[in-house]
Amino acid sequence: MTTRFAGRVVVVTGAADGIGYGIAAGFLQAGALVHALDINAAGLESAQRRIGAPNERFRTQVVDVSRPEEVTRGTQQILRESPQVDVLVNNAGINMFKRLNELEPGHWDRVMDTNLKSIYMMCKAFWPGFIQQRSGVIINISSIMGQAGGVGAPAYCSSKAGIIMLSRCLAKDGAGYGIRVNSICPGYIDTPIMERQYAEQPDPVAARKQVLDKQPLGRIGTPRDIANGALFLASDEASFISGTELTIDGAVTATQID
C-alpha cells in the first residue's frame, strides 16, 4: 500500500466487480478512503471480503444509480460520513446488445438512465461541495464504443458517446472552481461482463480468441489497467488535464474496431 491518496475520499459507482472493483481497490491501495456503490448487494459483500480492508476505509452501500431517489439517499449518506469528497468515479453501467429493429423505448431508457443520467445525477449531488472547496476530480467511464460506434448496440454506444460530451461540458463548467473532469474509454477488458458475453456465444473459447486476436499488444486489458489510468487522472500529476478522454485499449482503435 502507498500513501499517494492518503487523506482523500473517493466515491466509485459500479464497484462490486470488474472495472469498478479494480478502480476502488486501486484507490484503496493508494491510501484513500473509498465509498463503493453498486446495485448488487451480494457483489459488494464479496468485494469487501476480497479487498480485505477495514470497514472504515472501504465503505459499501447498495444504490441503484439509475433512480433519482436512490442517488439522493446514497450521496447524502456519503456526505454525512465524509463531508469532503475529493474524487468521484462514475463507472456504473450496463450493456444492451440490440439492433435498432429489436430496440424498444424501454430498452433505450434503461441504458440511458443507467449509463448517462446516473452520471449527471451523481455529479450534480457532489458539485456544490466541489465548488465550495474549490477542488474536485470527476472521472467518467465511457468506452471505445462511444468513440467509434459499433453494430448491434446503438443505445449503449450512444450513451457512452454522451458520457464523453457531458465530461467535456462539465470540465468547462467547473474549471473556474478548480474542478477537473475527464473520461476514460476502455477497450476490451477482462471482466465478468465479458466472460458472460463469451458464455452466451455458441463457442465461448472461439469467441474469446476472436477478441484476443484483435489486440495489437497481444493481451486483453485488465481492470488494473483502467485503475492505473484513473489514479493518474485523479493525481496532482494530472493537474492540467481536464475535458479530455483517456483511451486505454492496447491500440485497438489505432488499428480498427468492429
Q: Which residues are known catalytic residues?
A: 156
| CB contact burial 155-184 (16+ within 10 A = b; e otherwise) | bbbbbbbbbbebbbebbeebeeeebbbbbb
**Phi then psi for 33, rounded to 5 degrees?**
-90, 125
